[in-house]
Structure 1
Amino acid sequence: MATQYAISGATAREIAASAERAVTEGRLRPGDALPPVRTLADGLGVSPGTVAAAYKELRRRGIVVTRGRGGTVVASAPSVASRRPPRVPEGLRDLAGGHPDPAFLPDLVPPGRLSPGARSHRASPRLPQLEELARAWFRRDGVPDGQVTFAHGALDCVARLLSVELRPGDAVAVEDPGFHHLLDLVPALGLRTAAVAVDDEGMRPEALRSALRAGARAVVLCPRAQNPYGSRVSEARREELLAVLAGSPEVLVVEDDHSADTAGGPLHSLTTAGARGPGRWAQIRTVSKHLGTDLRWTAMACDPVTLARHDGRMLLTSGWVSHVLQETVVRLMTDPATAELVAAAGTAYTERREALIAALAEHGITGAAVSGLNVWVPVRDEAAVVNGLRSQGWWVAGGSRFRIGAGPGVRITVADLRVPEAAVLAADFGRVLADSASTYGG
């Protein structure tokens, strides 16, 4: 038994299970290197092929990754260990969470008449009134509403789509930097991430083309309010991306329009291009950013094949989204006071985002964000900036968990950053960068 590696076993299955336990229990941590195949084989008294098979299974399950000459290491967010953000230190202003301003969220009041328990929800999984509201929601922005269904959240929906469409080892094109939970989810499903660089207008066409040439069978992107970069797909960029995708009609394109009502800007969806649009597609919308973070409800518009595959798998698992939850969403979506609150939120988020961008620019600092709740600031040393701002009373998110090959940066959530506070934060940011430069030079 190779106790120094916290791994034991005589078969590939036993070795993989032992390594998984070590990761789950924290004896092997993210970034820790596993021993070379031959070294572990010698220590366990098994063949190198047995260890290689164990490592292959661990890679397939998203527990480890292989870094070429860097060997095999525990994944940054292994599928058997939940990676949660660090606790916000007491007394700091929290700008790291990515959450909306609670002041703009309506009170969540469950319906007075609860759904009867003894009926077949599987036979009628969607409330007709909410289904029609969802169709109108998509139709408002030109998204085809012929096929609509529900899920429990954006990631729940994406996970189901990828699991029914792709096989272990297939590649998924994702934004870089991108939503960290999606970057964790893809390898947890046994899939590979194909990083696609982004700018203010969304995915870069040449980067998407490279991902497709590398074999990506699905693309997941945010058309606006991209997290963490704040991109919004422009009309010109939409045409460029459609031209790239035209040669790959079998690729599933998933748009996560998670902040549809508070993103700050129009939607230029790939799905609105009619016959020129992707043949396989889905657009996902949630209400957590404008109605309540505890409302785990998602609406999805999609093509007929995607609908059948998604709903077929859901029927075999959770079956349906709670009708009590659906009734709560109906009440909020039809409430005039809530509509006014959502509109005010969208205006405030735009003002706060633009205020921070402008304040940073006055100190020679470039921030990226043309929509959404976050501002991405490229920096040379993430840790130095996070710690420096912490000493000034601010808590921001280091960018390492949001990126694959993109350069370092920090993410600042501006949802509840009042406009006057932007100048104070920007001045503190400037001092932190000056201190960092004097420490490290240049």
Structure 2
Amino acid sequence: MATQYEITGTNAKGIAASIERGVADGGLPPGTALPPVRRLAERLGVSPGTVATTYQELRRRGIVVTRGRAGTVIAASPAVASRRPPVVPEGVRDLAGGHPDPAFLPALLPPARLSPGARSHRAAPRMAPLERLARDWFAADGVPAEHVTFAHGALDCAARLLSVELRPGDAVAMEDPGYHHLLDLVPALGLRTVPVAVDDEGMRPEALRGALRAGARAVICSPRSQNPYGGCFSAGRRDALQEVLAAAPEVLVIENDHAADIAGAPLHSLVAGGPAARPARWAQVRTVTKYLGTDLRWAALACDPTTLARHDGRLLLTSGWVSHVLQETVTRLMSDPATSALVGRAREVYAERRTALLSALAGHRIGAHGASGMNVWVPVRDEAAVVSGLRTRGWWVAAGARFRIAAPPGVRITTAQLAPADGVRLAADLAAVLAESQATYGG
């Protein structure tokens, strides 16, 4: 229970504001247990119903979570204030951030000319050359490209789609382990997360079926380069998932193909193929931050016509459009032959580095996963012990807790900047750390 921060307030709104201030300024850090309803009610001189209403509102907004007998606690990533990644200790190799190798990011090509200032961008939010490039980009992988639009990144797109399609309390089927920012986003929108187990081929059909039976109204998945597990849909897995989704035609399916051009695996999309096979409501979002530039906050979205209308309707009421200066920059990069060659080389090198680490780990009989993308997931017994042990040996990896809902523990290792020879050293160090951990905790 919180002892350093004094919660105040005489009504539900005031109590909620007090707790939110505590979260924002660090007085109530993630994991802090809040007082039981009746105890806090007695302390503040209010009714238990008032405190219960407060906790319910904070749950809806993603600031607290309920953990059965453990009571109500501050969420791991509360939807308030600004939570930055942990600072990488000095003198260690950063393999935790999920970042690409800067050597394979092209030099930004600025617009040839700036967009005229006094004109209606809302009337023509998408620049025609980039829209044509986006259609070709999707069509090359068999994704229907009749309806295409833009957003400010995958998270921006997902947030907009979920907010117009779902209502607070609705459930979303999410990969477990999955992308931590999406896992943070869903509860911040007041939605419930339903975990779906994954393997080297992505979402497991039986787990997805269970999530749909639990009432999920939307599904978010990665067809390849799944983060952090690295899974990618095979043709058979794609077919099995489509069969499961066919029984729930009202469910919105969002595919996050965030690393399309460097995933190192072919696309077997849930939305490719004929109309009878793909979901009735669907969207596939692609971004360029992993291979054109981490500051290029642009995404392309292919979707069904209803989803397009709802997405663009909400976009029109908020930011209105994606910057034409940004669009022109992306257009020049996507049209540049030298950039295309660099992206192709990045795809080859990332695959080489990922598979080299997997091979080195296998040599030490360490099971790991990384069928595509830039990350490798290593199941471990004690995440903290492994992270700490590797830190003492000069490596900084990501503890798996922020990627997990109900999945077993593990660590994520980003391999984008890990040369094969360094992967051999890392594997040996990890084997030593795991041996120490086993000696500590027993077989």
Shorter-chain TM range is over 0.9
Q: 1:22 Cα deviation (Å)?
A: 1.1
Counterpart Cα distance in 2 of 1:15 and 1:392: 46
2:436 aligned counterpart, secondary structure:
helix
Deviations 1:130-184 (A, max 9, x none): 0000000000000000100000000000000000000000010000000000000
* C-alpha spacing 1:353/1:4, structure 2 compared with 1 (3 Å): closer
Cross-structure match for 2:313: 312
Cross-structure match for 2:326: 325
Q: 1:392 Cα deviation (Å)?
A: 0.7
Whether 1:259 aligns to 2:259 is yes
Cross-structure match for 1:341: 342
The one-letter code of the counterpart of 2:359 is A
Counterpart Cα distance in 2 of 1:437 and 1:67: 29
- Contact preservation (8 Å) 2:4, 2:27: no
1:7-406 equivalences under 5 Å are 7-274=7-274, 275-406=276-407
- Contact preservation (8 Å) 2:122, 2:320: yes
Counterpart Cα distance in 2 of 1:71 and 1:118: 55
Counterpart Cα distance in 2 of 1:297 and 1:98: 18
Counterpart Cα distance in 2 of 1:63 and 1:102: 35
* Root mean square deviation of aligned Cα: 1.0
- Contact preservation (8 Å) 1:281, 1:306: yes
Counterpart Cα distance in 1 of 2:6 and 2:230: 42
Counterpart Cα distance in 2 of 1:249 and 1:416: 42
Cross-structure match for 1:410: 411
**TM-score, with structure 2 as normaliser:** 0.98
- Contact preservation (8 Å) 2:228, 2:403: yes
Counterpart Cα distance in 2 of 1:390 and 1:180: 22
The one-letter code of the counterpart of 1:432 is V
- Contact preservation (8 Å) 1:5, 1:34: no
- Contact preservation (8 Å) 1:196, 1:203: yes
Counterpart Cα distance in 1 of 2:410 and 2:106: 33
- Contact preservation (8 Å) 1:172, 1:216: yes
Counterpart Cα distance in 1 of 2:273 and 2:289: 27
Q: 1:382 Cα deviation (Å)?
A: 0.5
Q: Which aligned runs of 4 or more in structure 1 are off by greater than 3 angstroms? A: 2-5
Counterpart Cα distance in 2 of 1:6 and 1:296: 40
The one-letter code of the counterpart of 1:264 is G
Q: 1:4 Cα deviation (Å)?
A: 6.4
Q: 1:102 Cα deviation (Å)?
A: 0.5
Q: 1:112 Cα deviation (Å)?
A: 2.8
Gaps of 5+ in 2: none
1:372 aligned counterpart, secondary structure:
coil
The one-letter code of the counterpart of 2:58 is L
The one-letter code of the counterpart of 1:249 is P
Q: 1:10 Cα deviation (Å)?
A: 1.1
Counterpart Cα distance in 1 of 2:6 and 2:169: 27
Counterpart Cα distance in 2 of 1:372 and 1:92: 23
Q: 1:5 Cα deviation (Å)?
A: 5.4
